[in-house]
Chains A and B, each alone.
Chain A
Amino acid sequence: MNWETVIGLEIHAQLATDSKIFSAASTEYGAEPNSQASAVDLGLPGVLPVLNERVIEMAVLFGLAIGATISRSSVFARKNYFYPDLPKGYQISQYAEPIVAGGKLEIPLDGHRSRIIDVTRAHLEEDAGKSVHENFQDSTGIDLNRAGTPLLEIVSEPQMNSASQAVAYMRTMHQLVRYLGICDGNMQEGSFRCDANVSVRQAGTSTLGTRTEIKNLNSFRFIEKAIDYEVERQIDLIESGASVVQETRLYDPDSDETRTMRSKEDSHDYRYFPDPDLLPIQISSEYLETAASKLPELPRQKRERFANQYELNASDAVFLCEEPARADYFESAVRSSNADPQLSVNWISGELSAALNRSNLSIEKSPVNADIFGKLIARIADNTVSGKIAKQVFEIMWDTQQYPDDIIAEKGLQQVTDDSAIENFVDQVLNDNPDQIEQYRAGKEKVFGFFVGQVMKLSRGKANPGQVNTLLKKRLS
């Protein structure tokens, strides 16, 4: 039997504000437990939430970027349930009237194809705290530093048909929120995570199968593996005559399987109702206009511009635009080098990326900044150094943050471009290797490479390879 997979994702993107959504406490990650929990975050009696206006700006920016409808009036609601790390016994969220409704996201498929996934809604809410089990015997610790951290929950329509599509959607959304500067995208710290709703149905049918929800997936790899496992589990169940039970499941990366967290019978009746402590968020036309003017260039626009403006192929444009910081680095390097952009692309994707990976650094933290990186590119372009020598220069730049011109001068790495100097190297190599000359003249053209290598070696790599070629050919003809 042919099965079709149906996946919908609920992404939780932590908004990159300095303070919490309803209190002035800091949102910084990794502080001492409960050192960043104010009376409001602790849910002490009598305290009241006050909305951090920054989150409205961020949600609106997101809505505009996906072509959604921004609600002129949206309402905070209370989602009521008891849990030790939920201080008030309710989470402030949005329910019937979210701030962002509708919207579309184009995701890449295999090859050059793409498809549009509909976004149902995005709403603002506060995060809960954390239960801590380590270092406690017969009890549980509660850390409320995360309580009240602002989240944008982005809900997709159930339109993805494979784990790889779900990952593509997640990656595209991840890229978008970082472009918008509304989320740092740090998945390890939980700043960007998702719940996946997964069901299967016979191909060609239109009603949805019973779904399960896999909670709290915080890496692209886990999303893919968890969904793949879950799809197989559901198909096995149905094919063996059993049926899928609607429930919440957790993915365990160690055993690479999903398991029941709570069943539908245990599910809460959240008793949502409008939070009487907060007024509706009202958004004026002027506010929307201002927000629209702050909308940065989005990934797709940037890719298209790069391809046109810098005459790059599609895969280079995709690579550069993957992260806004990489795109910015490229543009600064091109400006600084004043040379063929392709040279910058090659060096960013080659030496720079390799060095960043080795040191496990993001491009923002690169010891070689875009400006001096561009200066090196300029020296390659104007033949001051060959590509090979440039690699040596780059390594020194990485370690010392020196300017490439200083390194080249100091180490005497400047390329030899003087014809008579190169002729001397050529003559010496030819004098030392009469046998190879005969082989070459006998038609063994491969030996030409040997001569080039010998000349380069003699010049300690500094002879201009082009000129070496020309002069060698002239002498040997």
Chain B
Amino acid sequence: MSSYPDTVAGIATALAKREFSSKEITSHYLAQIAAVDGQLNSYITVCNERALEDAKAADELRSRGEAGPMTGVPYAHKDIFCTKGIRTSCGSRMLDNFVAPYDATVSGRLNEAGMVLLGKTNMDEFAMGSSNESSYYGPVLNPWKTSAVPGGSSGGSAAAVAARIAPCATATDTGGSIRQPAALCGVSGLKPTYGKVSRYGMIAFASSLDQGGPIATTAEDLGLMTNVMASFDRKDSTSIDHTIVDHVGELSASIKGLRLGIPKQFFDSALDPDVATATRDAIAELEGLGAVATEIDIPSIGLAIPAYYVISSAECSSNLSRYDGVRFGYRCDDPIDLEDMYIRSRSEGLGNETKRRILIGTYALSSGYYDAYYAKAQRIRRLIRESFTSALADVDAIVGPTSPSVAFDLGEKTSDPVSMYLSDIYTTAVNLAGLPAVSVPAGFVKGLPVGLQLIGNDFEESKLLRIAHQYQSVTDWHKRKPPIG
């Protein structure tokens, strides 16, 4: 075939109709990766041999009539999900040599669905970053403009999907790490409700905020991927036993009469005026589909960034203590004693942004500072959760921009961590509240994609995807392809 469909739904349908085999489509993507990824650096590991073996196995399943809806569909996997037998680096020198003896629950589910793992995608080290510049494996470049960042931390997943060198990818979102890179790369991303996708085997950054989810080109594909990724898992005590298993069934329903809340705090001075215009145009488009938009007021949104950076850094400082050079991962050469081994293994094995967060978190939890920082941040977190859920009692979804600007240039914010942290200004509150949110492409500013963020109530992923799908059925932003790819 000369041209293959580039959506999950398209590939799945074609595979089911036997228009091509999994081996063919997998080979196609592997060839594209080989041709394109040199310019993007979106993959850390490409699994050429295993992908072809998996594709062959998927084709055999299909020939035996045992294929499921996603069997044989290729995907890229963020290098934060443990994969048995394949290195899982988490973007860090610390885990450059780490091969997990187990699969993450999500990895296992994707395998069981018969999907084909193309490779493991690049990311900010331990998912800490908003530009993918903190990866030990070098930055990922934005396929729309290679001097710009792809966003982070799931920059590799977003760039790979945007460049059509993966039809879809897994990702994780602790403070915006799915939505912001999806927005900056012009693709779609879903951060599910906290507890919906198992965290078992997903290397922890900030346990109470981390949530796995998909990046793809369309809302429909996000739904198909969520069907595979989400599950109740006894191995994760924070996993929630929910009953919704189908996320595509409601996509075609009208959004007429749905109430959209537009927080005025999302249109503050931090927002690039052109991004504001694009966002308002997108909201107008939704109104054109019958949705009813009203301005709402959620003052606590302004407290989200400091609370988020205190809580996430505190948890990270503890979660990353296990990287001590004792049992696995990087160990410095010739330690003279235990303390030297700890200090040098961690100093050499971890990057600057990771160290900065560990220091912030350690400070915030220290005796005498706990109440002023961690305890206060937790109170703010409860306040934010309450204000979002009370707003969502009156509206079906909260709508606004995903990121305050389009993709910024490499190096532009690396010397100023606070300006980097502010690129998460519209996303972190959602993680603090534990709510689901989607980002979909909604226009361009200076040739770079803009993302529209839709936030819903607990477990209302299907409603968000329905709004996103309806929007995508009257717009073509998500179909635009970057110059690289």
Residues of A within 8 A of B101 (CB): 39, 44
The answer to whether B367 touches A45, judged by C-beta atoms less than 8 angstroms apart, is: no
The answer to whether A45 touches B374, judged by C-beta atoms less than 8 angstroms apart, is: no
Closest B residue to A279 using CB positions: B237
The answer to whether B328 touches A44, judged by C-beta atoms less than 8 angstroms apart, is: yes
Please report the C-alpha to C-alpha distance between residue A88 and residue B202 in the assembled complex, in whole angstroms.
16
Q: Write 12 A-B pairs (CB below 8 A) sorted by A numbering.
A: A44-B322, A46-B100, A47-B102, A48-B200, A78-B318, A82-B321, A88-B321, A89-B321, A142-B327, A271-B366, A277-B204, A279-B238
The answer to whether B203 touches A45, judged by C-beta atoms less than 8 angstroms apart, is: yes
Closest B residue to A22 using CB positions: B237
Partner of A271, one of B203, B318, B326: B318
The answer to whether B100 touches A87, judged by C-beta atoms less than 8 angstroms apart, is: no
Please report the C-alpha to C-alpha distance between residue A217 and residue B276 in the assembled complex, in whole angstroms.
67
Please report the C-alpha to C-alpha distance between residue A50 and residue B235 in the assembled complex, in whole angstroms.
6
The answer to whether B201 touches A47, judged by C-beta atoms less than 8 angstroms apart, is: yes
A74-90 CB mask vs B (1 if < 8 Å, else 0) is 00001010101001111
Report the minimal beta-carbon distance from A280 to chain B, rounded to whole angstroms.
Answer: 11
Within 8 A of A (CB), among B310-346: 314-315, 317-318, 320-322, 324, 326-328, 338, 342
The answer to whether A46 touches B326, judged by C-beta atoms less than 8 angstroms apart, is: no
Residues of B within 8 A of A84 (CB): 324, 326, 338
The answer to whether B234 touches A50, judged by C-beta atoms less than 8 angstroms apart, is: yes
Given contact pairs A45-B90, A47-B201, A89-B322, A82 touches B342 in the complex (Cβ within 8 A): yes
Please report the C-alpha to C-alpha distance between residue A272 and residue B207 in the assembled complex, in whole angstroms.
15
Interface: B450 (CB within 8 A): no
Residues of A within 8 A of B234 (CB): 50
Residues of B within 8 A of A276 (CB): 206-208, 238, 315
Extra 20 A-B pairs, beta carbons < 8 Å, given A39-B101, A50-B234, A273-B314: A42-B328, A45-B88, A45-B100, A45-B204, A46-B100, A46-B104, A46-B200, A48-B237, A82-B321, A82-B342, A87-B322, A88-B322, A269-B367, A272-B365, A273-B318, A276-B206, A276-B238, A276-B315, A278-B237, A279-B238
Interface: A209 (CB within 8 A): no
Closest A residue to B338 using CB positions: A84
The answer to whether B98 touches A45, judged by C-beta atoms less than 8 angstroms apart, is: yes
The answer to whether B199 touches A43, judged by C-beta atoms less than 8 angstroms apart, is: no
Interface: B236 (CB within 8 A): yes
The answer to whether A46 touches B367, judged by C-beta atoms less than 8 angstroms apart, is: no
Please report the C-alpha to C-alpha distance between residue A269 and residue B317 in the assembled complex, in whole angstroms.
14
B340-369 CB mask vs A (1 if < 8 Å, else 0) is 001000000000000000000010011100
Partner of B318, one of A45, A80, A279: A80
Residues of B within 8 A of A42 (CB): 327-328
Closest A residue to B234 using CB positions: A50
The answer to whether A273 touches B370, judged by C-beta atoms less than 8 angstroms apart, is: yes
The answer to whether B237 touches A51, judged by C-beta atoms less than 8 angstroms apart, is: yes
Interface: B161 (CB within 8 A): no
A24-59 CB mask vs B (1 if < 8 Å, else 0) is 000000000000000100111111111100000000
The answer to whether A47 touches B200, judged by C-beta atoms less than 8 angstroms apart, is: yes
Closest B residue to A81 using CB positions: B321
Residues of A within 8 A of B362 (CB): 271
Report the minimal beta-carbon distance from A297 to chain B, rounded to whole angstroms.
Answer: 36
The answer to whether B82 touches A45, judged by C-beta atoms less than 8 angstroms apart, is: yes
Closest A residue to B361 using CB positions: A271
The answer to whether B365 touches A273, judged by C-beta atoms less than 8 angstroms apart, is: yes
Partner of B207, one of A45, A87, A271, A277: A277
The answer to whether A271 touches B327, judged by C-beta atoms less than 8 angstroms apart, is: no
A118-158 CB mask vs B (1 if < 8 Å, else 0) is 00000000000000000000001010000000000000000
Please report the C-alpha to C-alpha distance between residue A82 and residue B322 in the assembled complex, in whole angstroms.
9
Residues of A within 8 A of B104 (CB): 46
Residues of A within 8 A of B328 (CB): 42, 44-45
The answer to whether A46 touches B237, judged by C-beta atoms less than 8 angstroms apart, is: no
Chain A interface, DSSP helix/strand/loop, else mixed: loop
Report the minimal beta-carbon distance from B153 to chain A, rounded to whole angstroms.
Answer: 16
Please report the C-alpha to C-alpha distance between residue A386 and residue B342 in the assembled complex, in whole angstroms.
73
The answer to whether A46 touches B204, judged by C-beta atoms less than 8 angstroms apart, is: yes
Chain B interface residue count, CB cutoff 8 Å, equals: 43
Given contact pairs A80-B321, A142-B327, A269-B366, A46 touches B201 in the complex (Cβ within 8 A): yes
Please report the C-alpha to C-alpha distance between residue A46 and residue B105 in the assembled complex, in whole angstroms.
10
Report the minimal beta-carbon distance from B205 to chain A, rounded to whole angstroms.
Answer: 11
Closest A residue to B208 using CB positions: A276
Residues of B within 8 A of A272 (CB): 365
Partner of B238, one of A46, A78, A87, A277: A277
A15-27 CB mask vs B (1 if < 8 Å, else 0) is 0000000000000
Report the minimal beta-carbon distance from B253 to chain A, rounded to whole angstroms.
Answer: 35
The answer to whether A45 touches B366, judged by C-beta atoms less than 8 angstroms apart, is: no
Please report the C-alpha to C-alpha distance between residue A269 and residue B364 in the assembled complex, in whole angstroms.
12
User: Contact residue range for chain A?
Assistant: 20 to 34
Within 8 A of B (CB), among A378-433: none
Interface residues, chain B, with chain A CB atoms under 8 Å away: 81-82, 88, 90, 95, 98, 100-102, 104, 199-204, 206-208, 234-238, 314-315, 317-318, 320-322, 324, 326-328, 338, 342, 362, 365-367, 370, 374
Residues of A within 8 A of B203 (CB): 45-46
Please report the C-alpha to C-alpha distance between residue A142 and residue B322 in the assembled complex, in whole angstroms.
15
Residues of B within 8 A of A49 (CB): 237
The 6 closest A-B pairs by CB, nearest first: A89-B321, A276-B208, A271-B365, A276-B207, A46-B201, A43-B322
Report the minimal beta-carbon distance from A323 to chain B, rounded to whole angstroms.
Answer: 37
Please report the C-alpha to C-alpha distance between residue A272 and residue B317 in the assembled complex, in whole angstroms.
12
Report the minimal beta-carbon distance from B338 to chain A, rounded to whole angstroms.
Answer: 7
Closest B residue to A80 using CB positions: B318
Partner of B102, one of A39, A78, A88, A278: A39
Please report the C-alpha to C-alpha distance between residue A47 and residue B367 in the assembled complex, in whole angstroms.
28
Residues of B within 8 A of A78 (CB): 318
Residues of A within 8 A of B367 (CB): 269, 271
Please report the C-alpha to C-alpha distance between residue A82 and residue B320 in the assembled complex, in whole angstroms.
11
Report the minimal beta-carbon distance from A74 to chain B, rounded to whole angstroms.
Answer: 15
Closest B residue to A39 using CB positions: B102
Please report the C-alpha to C-alpha distance between residue A89 and residue B374 in the assembled complex, in whole angstroms.
19
The answer to whether B370 touches A46, judged by C-beta atoms less than 8 angstroms apart, is: no
User: Which of A45, A47, A82: most chain B Cβ within 10 A?
Assistant: A45
Please report the C-alpha to C-alpha distance between residue A140 and residue B202 in the assembled complex, in whole angstroms.
31
Closest B residue to A278 using CB positions: B237
Residues of B within 8 A of A46 (CB): 81-82, 88, 100, 104, 199-204
Report the minimal beta-carbon distance from B367 to chain A, rounded to whole angstroms.
Answer: 5
The answer to whether A89 touches B200, judged by C-beta atoms less than 8 angstroms apart, is: no
Partner of B321, one of A50, A90, A273: A90
Given contact pairs A46-B82, A48-B199, A89-B318, A273 touches B102 in the complex (Cβ within 8 A): no
The answer to whether A50 touches B318, judged by C-beta atoms less than 8 angstroms apart, is: no
The answer to whether A45 touches B322, judged by C-beta atoms less than 8 angstroms apart, is: yes
Please report the C-alpha to C-alpha distance between residue A46 and residue B203 in the assembled complex, in whole angstroms.
4
Please report the C-alpha to C-alpha distance between residue A140 and residue B326 in the assembled complex, in whole angstroms.
11
Please report the C-alpha to C-alpha distance between residue A278 and residue B199 in the assembled complex, in whole angstroms.
12
Please report the C-alpha to C-alpha distance between residue A279 and residue B241 in the assembled complex, in whole angstroms.
14
Please report the C-alpha to C-alpha distance between residue A44 and residue B200 in the assembled complex, in whole angstroms.
11
Please report the C-alpha to C-alpha distance between residue A265 and residue B32 in the assembled complex, in whole angstroms.
59
Report the minimal beta-carbon distance from A268 to chain B, rounded to whole angstroms.
Answer: 10
Closest A residue to B362 using CB positions: A271
Given contact pairs A46-B82, A271-B318, A89 touches B324 in the complex (Cβ within 8 A): yes
Please report the C-alpha to C-alpha distance between residue A44 and residue B202 in the assembled complex, in whole angstroms.
11
Please report the C-alpha to C-alpha distance between residue A279 and residue B365 in the assembled complex, in whole angstroms.
20
Residues of A within 8 A of B88 (CB): 45-46
Please report the C-alpha to C-alpha distance between residue A375 and residue B238 in the assembled complex, in whole angstroms.
58
Residues of A within 8 A of B326 (CB): 84, 87, 142
Report the minimal beta-carbon distance from B4 to chain A, rounded to whole angstroms.
Answer: 33
Report the minimal beta-carbon distance from B398 to chain A, rounded to whole angstroms.
Answer: 25
Please report the C-alpha to C-alpha distance between residue A48 and residue B317 in the assembled complex, in whole angstroms.
17
Please report the C-alpha to C-alpha distance between residue A159 and residue B417 in the assembled complex, in whole angstroms.
53
Residues of A within 8 A of B370 (CB): 271, 273
Report the minimal beta-carbon distance from A269 to chain B, rounded to whole angstroms.
Answer: 5
Residues of A within 8 A of B238 (CB): 276-277, 279
The answer to whether A273 touches B374, judged by C-beta atoms less than 8 angstroms apart, is: yes
Residues of A within 8 A of B100 (CB): 44-46
